[in-house]
Every structure is written in structure tokens, then in C-alpha cells.
Amino acid sequence: MDSGSFGTWFFLLFIFVFIIWYVHDKYVQRKHQLLVNYPIIGRLRYVLEELREPFRQYFGDEKFYESKDKLDWVYKAARDLPNFASFSPSQPVPKPKFMLKHATIVLNDDEVENDFSVTFGECREQPYVSKSIISRSAMSDGSISPEGTRAFVRGAFMGNFSINTGEGSLTSNFFTTHVKYDESYMTIYEGTQKQKFIKKVIRKMFNGSMAANVYLKMILKNDPEIETYTFDEKTKRVHRVNWNAPLEAFPKVVPNDMPDIIFQISSGLYGARDIEGNFDPVRYQKVMSFCKMTEIKIAQGAKQTGGKLVGSKVTEAIAYYRGVKPYHDLFSPNRFPHANSIEELYDFIGELQKLSKKPVGIKIVISDYENIIPYAKELAKRVKEGNSAYPDYFSIDGGSGGSATAPIELMERVGLNVRDSIYLVNKVLEEYKVRDRVKLVASGKLLTPDDIVIVMAVGADFVQIARGFMMSAGCIRARYCSGTTKHQCPVGLATQDKSKRRKYFVHKHSNYIRDYHKNLLKSIKGILAVMGLKNIHQVTKHRIMFLDRNSKVHDNIDDVFGRILDLGKDPVDQLDDGEDIFGQSVNINTENINTENIDNESSAVKEVS
């Protein structure tokens, strides 16, 4: 067949396919109304819809964060690259914005202290002294892939910062650095010499990850819980914690080859429940043998509902960790089972403190006064009574806090941003004279050193970061984390799709995670030097300013927040318990709050714009 004949046949085939396609769209399919009126060409809409999410970040200015420069800072810091800009920012931070006051006589970087430690639960038998003011925020093993969790754990261990388990419990992947274990609390398997040789050959020919997976498969064969075991390269053994071992077998002190782990308990009680789903004090004590403190998740910024893990992410391993059926949607209750009242919650906190002998805090979201005053009031009451059953810290998640799976209708409608929330909580605790009893932890859209310094200036003692650590771990913000679409996380970080997650570079990204944290602290030191401060704990609201939309500078931060936060008690709120703590409507302004007698008049509030 000559080229001319081939071209003719190809053209006829194209016309035939085109006609069949046209007939199908217009007369056969009844799924898409658009294709009936615009056959074939109407499909372009669906193509563009598919391309929108993964490619949106590459065109135009950054809209979700203050500036694209912030995102670039994270990626460069993770790769330990210089973070300098030439001529000007590519996208200046828009007004209004907070500004830092620099000192008349600045310090050199080496004159700023390297001490970034924070102590939680000073009155507990085993207080937690964090080596850093920064922690990786709560992200469950389940929403994050096993490989991603191992990268975070390795990065946290190398970087000397803490990591929050998220509500998915303390899984085997948190033990990836734990090699100096006692066999009495481990289930251990070891391969034959032949299996070890095969593993060695595969490692030489391909890579360590593939070799480890093959080795596990040879030893455990078709065990559905195969992924709950961790491979130890040095001993060539695979192991996992035997939670059925007696409590006496578990370590009395957290092993020094593990990172500082914050154990989060949610309404599902995963990792601290029995087979009926009730709280199990013995299991909790076993878990706390490896953790530094506990966080009770009452609420999260992006959702006030219970945690949501779609069935496709509930693998056999995740089901084993959480004590549920695999491949079924796992939606936790909205309300924590031991928080039907503030008193009940505090009593439960006291029980956890006695069981673990370690600090316990709660994670909450703030929308107005009524979200913090009951906590502060009960805390003050217990301090006065000499009752130590109260939170050692409040973890405040901003309304813009992230989530892999959350109702879109709640993401932008519930909760103040983290700076407003921290200021409000700090002020209320000060007025109730209990601020020194608790630490304040901030989370929600904190990415860069300046974000951290500003939120600490308005009252935070400690910060938890999720998105920044996600990006340092390879996240490209494709927004396919939920698993509810036909797409999966393209880098293998936030998916349970084995074909994608098993190609994830654990060791490479753990170095990125470590370096992101390292450069955060390094740059914070640089900011403190310019501000003339020798220690991060010297940062206060008096060291920052506010620049409004009209470029007017405000240096009274109390006045700024007083204008922004026109919050008080709603006298006609039908959902209120009827007890007016203040007696009158309260405005959070520069006036002191007196819990005994409040002036009836509230000042007029003008928006700072």
C-alpha cells in the first residue's frame, strides 16, 4: 500500500470514528446534558476541569496564601538552598498586615540564643521539655501514606522536633527509627539465609525499598496485616509492637531512638480503645510508653465534625491500627465521648494525667468568646480548689487550618484565623489569672519564620505546622488528598494507592523535612537579631505593628484587635446556658475585663481597614 492510499484510509477511518462519536454523544449517552447540545466539543469542558486542579498553582498570583514567595521559601528551605530575593518580592504581601519592629542597635545572629525549648506540664510527674518551638501538626497514618509517615518520623528524629500522631493512633510506622527495642513487647520475624540473600540481590539490582517489600512478602506471605510490620535493616528482622503484651513489658521511659511523639486522641479513641470501642486505660498506658504527651482533639480548623477517612484509605493495616473493618468509610463522631460538659472533659484529662504521668492538652477552634470562657472559668475554679485536673495546654487551630478531608461548607465559615484566636484566648486566660498555668499552641496556615514570630508575639508559646511540612515532604498541592475523587496524590504522600506510595522517596524527603525545620529556626534567629532580641521568649505584642489597607501604622496591638474582634456575649443567644459570666455584653477592646463587674457601655468599634 503506497503512502497515498494509507493516507486516504486513515482519513476515512477518522471520519468514521468522528461520526460514531458524534452520534454517541448526541443520541446515545444521557449522562451529560452538555454533550447532547454540543457533541464532542463539549468534552473540552471536562478536559479543562481535569487540568484545573493540578495546574492552577502555576498561573497567576497565589490566592490562598499571602504570597507565592512564602511557598517558594518552604521549598527552598527544605532543600537547604539560600532564601534570598533580588530587587523585590515576586508577589508582595498585601495590606493589611503585621509588621516587625526592628531595634535601633541590632544584634548579630550569633548573639541570639539557640535555646528554643518549651516546657509543658511543669506540675506533672513527667513534664515534657520540647527542644523546639515547632512541631509537625497532627496528620494521621492513613490520611498520610505509610511511607510518608516514616519520612516524617525520620525527619523529626534527625531534626529534634516533635511530631503529632493525628487521630489515627500510634502506628508501626512511628517506630521506624526504634531499633533498640526490648523483645518482650515486640512481635518479631526473621527470614532464612536464602531470603536474606534474595533481598541483598534485589537491593543491589534495584533499591532498598523494593528489597524490603519483597523480603516482607517472603516472610509473611499473604498476611493481610503485612504492612503493620517494620523492617530493621541492621538485624534483618521485621517487627511490630505487640499490644497484647503485659503493661509491665513496656518501657518506663520513652526510648531515645524515637522522636518526641504527641499522641492525639479523637472522638474515635483510636489507639486507646478496646474491641467494643470504649476507652481502654491499659492500652493508653502502653501507647504513652512511647509518647511525650497527649492531645485530645475536640475540634479542627477546617472541620468541626469528626475525622473522616474514606473507605479506599482504610486498608487492612489502617483497620488493624484503629480496630475497625477494612475498606469501610471511617467517620468519627462529632463530639468527643468524654466531653459532654467542660467538667467531664477536665475530669477525663485528670484521668489521663494520672495514667500517663505526663502532660495532656486539648485542641479547639475559636469562633467567639463562648468558645474559650467556659474552659477558662473551669480552669480558674480548679486552680482555686487545688484540683490539678485541667489541660496543660490549649492547641488553637485557626479556622483556615488544613485537612485532607473536610466539608467545603465548613472550611471558610467556622473559626477565627489563628492570630485572632491566639490573641483572644491569651487575653481571656490572663483576665482569669490562669495564663501561667497553660501553654498556648498555634496552628493554621503558618509556613515561614515571620508567621511564627508574629503569632508568638500575640500570645503563642509553641506552633504546630502541617502544610509547610507537607510541602517539605514533596506535596505539590494538587489537592487530591481526600481519596474521594478518581485521582490519588501524585507523589505518593497522601494516598494508600500502593502503585504510587511505594515509589515515594522516604530517606530523601526525611532530609527535606529535617532541613525545613532547621531553616525555620535559623531564620527565626535572624529575625530576632534584627528585632534586638536574644531569645524567642522575649517576643511580645509590643514588638510588632499593624499596617492597615490605607498604610496607616498602628503600634497598639490591643487596640488593633479591639477593632477587629468586636466580640462579646450575645444576650439573646438561645443556645447559651443562661449564665452570663460577665453580667453584660463584653467587647474585647483595650478595656480590662472584670469578671465581677463590667461597665454596661461598650465602645463603638470601627473596622481597621
Break the chain into its structural domains and give their ranges: 3-58, 183-250
The residue with greater pLDDT, 149 or 34, is 149
Secondary structure of residue 468 in the 3-state scheme: helix
* CB-based contact 419:454 (threshold 8 Å): yes
Residue 60 has pLDDT above 70, yes or no: no
Predicted pLDDT at 433: 97
Name the pLDDT band for 607 (thresholds 50, 70, 90). very low
Query: From CA 468, how far away is CA 447, in angstroms rounded?
Result: 5
Residue 281 has pLDDT above 80, yes or no: yes
Query: From CA 569, how far away is CA 585, in angstroms rounded?
Result: 5
Name the pLDDT band for 2 (thresholds 50, 70, 90). low
Query: From CA 357, how far away is CA 125, in angstroms rounded?
Result: 5
Predicted pLDDT at 402: 62
Which pLDDT tens digit goes with each residue over 393-407? 999 998 776 655 667
Q: Which of 71-75, 299-303, 462-466, 478-482 has the highest mean pLDDT?
A: 462-466
* CB-based contact 261:165 (threshold 8 Å): yes
Please report how many Cα atoms fall inside a 13 Å half-sphere around the Cα of residue 269, on the Cβ side. 19
The residue with greater pLDDT, 455 or 301, is 455
Going by C-beta distance under 8 Å and a sequence separation of 6 or more, which residues neighbour residue 135? 161, 162, 163, 164, 262, 441, 462, 463, 464, 465
Name the pLDDT band for 305 (thresholds 50, 70, 90). low
* CB-based contact 135:165 (threshold 8 Å): no
What are the CA-CA distances from residue 238 to residues 192, 217, 291, 345 (Å)? Answer: 12, 11, 22, 39
- Of 180-189, 321-330, 351-360, 551-560, where does mean pLDDT reach its minimum? 321-330
The residue with greater pLDDT, 529 or 371, is 529
Predicted pLDDT at 535: 96
Going by C-beta distance under 8 Å and a sequence separation of 6 or more, which residues neighbour residue 204? none
Predicted pLDDT at 592: 41
* CB-based contact 319:245 (threshold 8 Å): no
Name the strand (E) or helix (H) holding 545: strand 544-547
* CB-based contact 80:519 (threshold 8 Å): yes
Predicted pLDDT at 576: 54
Query: From CA 370, how far away is CA 268, in angstroms rounded?
Result: 25
Predicted pLDDT at 331: 84
* CB-based contact 397:300 (threshold 8 Å): yes
**Average pLDDT over the chain, rounded to whole?**
87
Query: From CA 192, how far away is CA 557, in angstroms rounded?
Result: 67
Residue 589 has pLDDT above 80, yes or no: no
Query: From CA 562, how far away is CA 588, in angstroms rounded?
Result: 5
Mean pLDDT for 49-57 is: 72
Going by C-beta distance under 8 Å and a sequence separation of 6 or more, which residues neighbour residue 25? 35, 36, 39, 40, 42, 43
Q: Which residues lie across from 136 on neighbouring strands?
A: 163, 465
Mean pLDDT for 383-390 is: 97
Name the pLDDT band for 482 (thresholds 50, 70, 90). low
Predicted pLDDT at 302: 66
Mean pLDDT for 573-580 is: 50
Please report how many Cα atoms fall inside a 13 Å half-sphere around the Cα of residue 508, on the Cβ side. 8
Predicted pLDDT at 583: 37
Query: From CA 281, how far away is CA 265, in angstroms rounded?
Result: 13
- HEC sequence for 212-264: HHHHHHHHHCCCCCHHHCEEECCCCEEEEECCCCCHHHCCCCCCCCCCCEEEE
Residue 136 has pLDDT above 90, yes or no: yes
Mean pLDDT for 293-317 is: 83
Query: From CA 476, how far away is CA 56, in angstroms rounded?
Result: 11
Please report how many Cα atoms fall inside a 13 Å half-sphere around the Cα of residue 550, on the Cβ side. 5
Determine the Cα angle at 175 with ends 170 and 180, to 5°.
135
Residue showing cell 545572629: 109
Residue 515 has pLDDT above 70, yes or no: yes
The dihedral built from the CA positions of residue 307, 310, 312 and 316, taken in this order, carries a sign that is positive
Residue 598 has pLDDT above 60, yes or no: no
Query: From CA 70, how far away is CA 440, in angstroms rounded?
Result: 24
Which pLDDT tens digit goes with each residue over 33-51? 888 888 988 888 888 877 7
Q: Which residues lie across from 303 on neighbouring strands?
A: 300
Q: Where are the beta strands (DSSP E) in 58-161?
A: 97-100, 118-120, 128-130, 134-136
Residue 332 has pLDDT above 70, yes or no: yes
- Of 92-96, 103-107, 552-556, where does mean pLDDT reach its minimum? 92-96
Mean pLDDT for 43-71 is: 74
Residue 219 has pLDDT above 50, yes or no: yes
* CB-based contact 286:247 (threshold 8 Å): yes
* CB-based contact 118:438 (threshold 8 Å): no
Mean pLDDT for 299-321 is: 80
* CB-based contact 423:458 (threshold 8 Å): yes
Predicted pLDDT at 605: 30
* CB-based contact 219:189 (threshold 8 Å): yes
Closest CA to 117 of 106, 102, 129, 126: 129
Written as nine digits, the cell of 89 is 518580592
Predicted pLDDT at 582: 36
Helices (H), 266-417: 281-288, 316-322, 342-356, 373-385, 408-411
